[in-house]
Structure 1
Amino acid sequence: MEIYLIGGAVRDLLLGRPVTDRDYLVDHADQDLFQGRYPTARLVGKSFPVFILDGSEYAWPRGGSLEKDLELRDLTINAIALDENGVIHAHPKALNDLQAGVLRPCSLWSINDDPVRAFRAARFAAQFPDFSPSPELLEQMRAAALKGRLKSHAPERVGRELQKALAAPKPSRFFEILRLAGCLSPWFDEMLACCDVPAGPPEYHDKDVFGHICQVMDQLAGDALMVWMAVAHDLGKALTPQEGWPSHHGHEKLGKVPARTLGRRLRLPRVFIEAGEMAAVEHMLAGNYDELRPGTKVDLLMRLEAKRLTSRIFKLAAADGHPGLYTKAKRDLRTVLKVRLPDDKRDMGEASGEMLRQMRCDALAGTDKPSQSHQ
């Protein structure tokens, strides 16, 4: 029996990157022999046998041999194995591509075998910003899209690739590569709709909405949830009347539905879907925080704090061209949260709520006197 460390773990070792997940390949042994030697291993695969041992996966070579398994993998940089003696076994182009920074499919049929690999390749482009897609990779991705091969897949698989891309060093490359290869539809139709739509007046924006979203994504890299909020924040601009472009009045409210639709289509966690909706609806209010009346500030802060998104919304606003507002919002939030209703004004239903809101408005306005101007 031979056991090989396989795939991304070997790639990362050779690149000098931290290794987090370790997968293994078992050769020259059947399942009974393997489980006899490792009795604590747990079988989890059904159609394709996979064992879990000490948190790592152990599988058998696809195609019956190590060489065939490497050929059947997605990208050459992932088609590398390390045996127990420290010897490297690799796809013929793997080591050169690793050194040259090239994302290349392992074979002529790599993407066709599993079209979700198109999204996986785009995710690797986000994780490895210095690596470039090879012409044959883009060609295979484009061909899969044209044949309609990207449609019939479990949403969770596409969503997983997106979530990994959102956590990558340059998350925008995920969408940029998909756009370049014609692979945004059908899973990312909302982003496709943003292509060639002016982001705003030329004095403020020199990109289309797609490009602007990508720019904001990269400014927020390092926080996957914030990067998703960047994706969602301007989707509504594609829905504003074309005769009004490059202005997009009302795009905030229009953006809530596409943000929700995109998140649900990809089966993203609820926290992502809600944060995306909030980003779409609230980012302009946050960006104009200085101009808001006390009542509007109170309502905004309470909505954001209820979802624990206050800091993230204002960081999004900063990346969107409105810096320096979070310090003021944080100060105001402290002021608002210190306000307490007198004991005799509590437990009065909506009336108590209205009184508390008014007291908070007065606190922000720096006065104890109620004022209609705070509404």
Structure 2
Amino acid sequence: MKIFCVGGSVRDALLGRPSSDRDWVIVGASPAELLAQGYQPVGRDFPVFLHPQTHEEYALARTERKTAPGYHGFAFHAAPDVTLEQDLARRDLTINAMARDEASGELVDPYGGQRDLRDRVLRHVSPAFAEDPVRILRLARFAARFTDFTVAPETLTLMRQMVEAGEVDALVAERVWQELSRGLMEERPSRMFEVLREAGALARLAPEIERLFGVPQPEAHHPEIDTGVHLLMVLDQCAHLGAPLPVRYASLCHDLGKGLTPPEALPRHIGHEGRGVPLARAISERWRVPADCRELAELMAREHTHVHQSGAFSAEARLRLLERCDALRRPERFELLLLACECDARGRLGLEERPYPQRERLARDLRRLLALDLGAVSAAAIAAGKTGPAIGRAVQQARLAALLAGEQEEGAH
């Protein structure tokens, strides 16, 4: 039998990029032979084994064919007579269909992966690409990672044909979220959505996002004008500022309400915040998004305009904003909201380096409120004979006094 390192780790080594894990394929062996050598079987769909020493996963070379529409219907064949070239042929892109012989170090590249790495092209290996709609999402994710790569025209045509055939409609929510969430964390997440749009897949996966493109905004606030272009710029600001996944997802959903602005009201979008909350909720439910991402997305959709305007707010208005955002009970989430709002403010043409003082000011307000000894405030109110709602009003007065004192302190400096 022969052992080969395959896929992403081979690609990344040729690109001089770090790789987090390695995939192994064994050619010319049977399950019985591997068991005799101490390999431990895992998985049920096809023969995968854990190495007796390293515990890395090793798969027997296999072929596969599609047996039903969508993602689930595949039949696998793994046997000693399956060649390495046959195994590589079932992979998605040429740059992922290379292997390196473990013993000799020889590179095996039957489908031109090295050429496409050199030319910076994302190209499908064979027509079998069309058998798995997840590959559309994977390719879009790779476009977000390899920012200077283009999609081969014939591959884009094939992706469009897959969308028209309804393959994307059959994707299960978990796989959609898995790929999109990984793509959001790549170096240039905007490219993932650009590729999905070119393939026609975004309109099927998230029509709420697709309809933002071509919708105008006031040029005074948005020099880029197009709402969809603004969204892509915000996502790239998230990457530039190193934002975590909940911030990137919230940024993706923050302006969805603008897609429902009546044409006669354009280019203004009064009330888009309220329109956007149920749309963000709908996408989250469709993709089964985790709670931390879902909650921040709805909060961002509802409150981002207020955060932007908070520089002109009175202490009373800022306190109401903090309370409405549940910042006192969930300060970490509020910090993420502020970061998302900064990405939004800087995701505008020519304003990418513009300062965003609202973030630090509201963060200081929150620190002052969290530093209050509310137990002592309540005890003093009780000692003064106050009960029930009166104690709550005393707490509110103490919070407002803390913000006013902070204003005076900042003014003195």
Give 2:122's aligned residue: 103
1:124-158 superposed Cα distances (whole Å, 9 cap, x missing partner)? 00011011111011101111111111111211111
Q: TM-score, normalised by structure 1?
A: 0.91
Give 1:342's aligned residue: 378
**Greater mean deviation of Cα atoms: 71-80 or 46-55:** 46-55
The aligned runs of 1:226-241 (5 Å cut-off) are 226-241=247-262
CA distance in 1, matches of 2:336, 2:91: 38
Find out whether 1:332 has 2:356 as its counterpart.
no
Contact map agreement 1:194 1:235 (CA 8 A) in 2: yes
1:284-331 superposed Cα distances (whole Å, 9 cap, x missing partner)? 111111122323312322425334222222222223227122221122
Matching residue's letter, 1:193: R
Compute the displacement of 1:220 (Å).
0.9
Compute the displacement of 1:280 (Å).
0.7
Give 2:344's aligned residue: 320
CA distance in 2, matches of 1:291, 1:324: 11
Q: TM-score, normalised by structure 2?
A: 0.83
Per the alignment, in what secondary structure is the counterpart of residue 38 of structure 1?
A: coil
Work out the percentage of aligned pairs sharing the same amino acid: 36
Compute the displacement of 1:348 (Å).
5.4
Alignment gaps of 5+ in structure 1: 368-375
Find out whether 1:175 has 2:199 as its counterpart.
no
CA RMSD in angstroms comes to 2.0
Within the candidate set 202, 220, 233, 2:219 is matched to 202
CA distance in 2, matches of 1:225, 1:159: 13
Give 2:105's aligned residue: 86
Find out whether 1:311 has 2:335 as its counterpart.
yes
Matching residue's letter, 1:115: P
| Structure 1 residues 14 and 349: CA distance shift in structure 2, 3 A | farther
Compute the displacement of 1:203 (Å).
2.4
Compute the displacement of 1:207 (Å).
3.5
CA distance in 1, matches of 2:214, 2:259: 9
Per the alignment, in what secondary structure is the counterpart of residue 127 of structure 2?
A: coil
Give 1:370's aligned residue: none
Alignment gaps of 5+ in structure 2: 64-81, 347-355, 407-413
Per the alignment, in what secondary structure is the counterpart of residue 203 of structure 1?
A: coil
Consecutive aligned runs of 4 or more in structure 1 exceeding 4 Å deviation:
346-351
Give 1:252's aligned residue: 273
CA distance in 1, matches of 2:192, 2:345: 23
Per the alignment, in what secondary structure is the counterpart of residue 19 of structure 2?
A: coil
CA distance in 1, matches of 2:50, 2:363: 46
CA distance in 1, matches of 2:227, 2:357: 23
CA distance in 1, matches of 2:158, 2:297: 32
CA distance in 1, matches of 2:107, 2:387: 73
Find out whether 1:225 has 2:243 as its counterpart.
no
1:200-258 superposed Cα distances (whole Å, 9 cap, x missing partner)? 21222224221111100001113222221210111111122221111111111211111
CA distance in 1, matches of 2:131, 2:110: 18
Per the alignment, in what secondary structure is the counterpart of residue 339 of structure 2?
A: helix
**Greater mean deviation of Cα atoms: 151-160 or 336-345:** 336-345
CA distance in 1, matches of 2:391, 2:168: 54
